[in-house]
Structure 1
Amino acid sequence: MTRKIVVVGWGLAAHRLVTGLLAADTDVDVIVYAGEGGTAHDRSALPGTLTGAGAGLPTPSDPRLTLHAGVRAVAVDRMHRFVHGSDHWVQPYDTLVLATGANAMLPPIKGLRTDDGQDLLPGVHSSHSAADFQRLAEAASAATHAVVIGGSTIGLDVAAALRTMRAADPLHVELVDQMPAAPEITSADAYLTLRRTGVIAYQDCRVRALTAGRGGGLEGVVLADGHRLACDLAVIACGTAPNTALAWTSGLAVARGIVVDDTLRSVSDPHIHALGACAEHRRSLSGRRETVLAQADVLAARLSGVDPYRTYFSGLRSGAQLALSS
């Protein structure tokens, strides 16, 4: 009997899982809800798209795969095992996998949004999705002075890419650490490397406010010490928070992330799993690339039957996540 495995999300975690399931040549139908579009992306590689690099992942060509591009999963009926899509289609499932990833965090900075609070101030850009980076590339092509707010790895990568994307007419780029709350430590060497590209980097510093010009667009940023930086482009790179909205409304256990056991199964429902940046395993969150890939490999092995007893253990040995087979 063909099993229906529904996957919500189409990022690195979902792509690796689906690829593993299809490679196992098992009797499954895999249905993916890809709310951001039909191409999966490795988010860690998105800053490179500013300089022409690719971040898209190849879509598997397999008749067992159904990809709902641009369709979001809006509700889960756990009792009857149905997923309701934004296209009003109701999809039954035997197993549901939530790979909803994380949402970009927007810091509480005065002037970040328009007066009605609905949109970011013109000239301010997020740096999370492929669409974000497409808009950022267009804006950066005409900008003269950019400020990157956030000293995470993504923030440093964005700053370096902005500096190098216009070889003939380099963009003036400054980065403000903003002391991210994420459990990520950016090394002094990383800042030194960034400064060698010509980026001015401020560490242990915060942006207090954004200021708008007469036309309503971004004019500059004000640091906590009152120092002002003129700019016509600002990029927010202040980390992410697990996207747990669908799990929460479905009645699953959610702490900081979707709570899963060592098999990456929800502690609330044996038919639902979660992995990647949205999952919380042993009170730990991680959206690191190696963690995401390890979790996807474990879940693919379990759900395909290749290794149904394989478990995941988030042991921090040399900073790595470990996948163990029992």
Structure 2
Amino acid sequence: MDTSRALALSVFASYFLIILALFSSIVSGITTTRRVVSGGKTLTFVGLALASFAHTWLYMFKFLAWSFHEFEHSNAVAAGSILERTSNWLLNTGLFEQAWTAVCRKPINWWWSEQLCLFTVGAWTIFLAVEGRRHQVKNLWAYMLLGQLVAISVASNLFYVALLMSPTQRPTQRQAVSQTWTVLTMSVVLALATVALSPLTSENTFLWNLLTMHSIILLPLIRLPILERRPSEIGVSIKSLYTLVLVASLAIRSRTILNTAAATQEQSPFGLLAQAWSTLHSHPAQASIGWDVIWTSISFIAWVSLRDAGEAAVAKREDVPYLMLTTPLVSVGLTAPYILREDGPSAEGEVKKE
């Protein structure tokens, strides 16, 4: 086996090793906390994490098998050992681009994918950065990277477990402004722009736009000493940032729903949902990301329903029926910032008291 094939197999194996390392880092950080919480709540989110992982990765493995057989069928090659065939497939197939192209190529496909993108770059990035630091959760970047490599539903459920298991500590004003407000605001705004631009990209710009979307939201989750030494006053309050995400996501989502309705010639919201459901299993990559959207939505509703009273300033469990009714229609990318923005005054107040 030549060097290029060995390198291709090594990169593929490294992908799974990185995932294992991320799981290990997150679980290690959670298990070292000392807070005693309700076992029922913790087990609920552990169960949701396991269920979403098993379900989304069932389709992920189906996608890998589909890609492998599609490559060999298209190129009429099936000779050699399994390692040679696998390395040949990996060398000549852009799996990341292939998967994302499949889930973005038509308006009805993007109807699914955009929901996960809006939730991830908007509400969840803010939630990770703010609540993660307030609860002293270790390795916040690992949750985001795990979500990108495995599934957002898996990473978000593990983060809910981490919040339940971690103590609460008020951030200092220096940390809040320099580490959270400034970098977070800029990252979220730019990432939302990449989501808005995604349907307008070409074959040459699609991948670069997607990579920008994935990388920029890691910045507010990484400790940057230079920002801690030189705090800046640039940024907005937590509630204002959630509101900004809500308004921007509403505009982006409305455009996508109208484009999808026009493409499918469906005028009824329920007819559009029926079309989306039939598209869900049209391709294994589509099924993986589609079910990631569904599990993420279910998990967020569970979090709003089960979180401690102290976790919400205004938004209470009465929001659950609203979430269950509206999330399938407008997506968790909109309902999440709407609910979480009501937590802003509490967190903002903590900063001002320092």
Fold conserved between structures, TM > 0.5: no
TM-score by length of 2: 0.25
- Give the number of the structure with larger relative contact order, counting CA–CA contacts within 8 Å between residues 6 or more apart: 2
Report which of the two has the higher share of helix.
2
Report which of the two has the higher share of strand.
1
TM-score by length of 1: 0.26
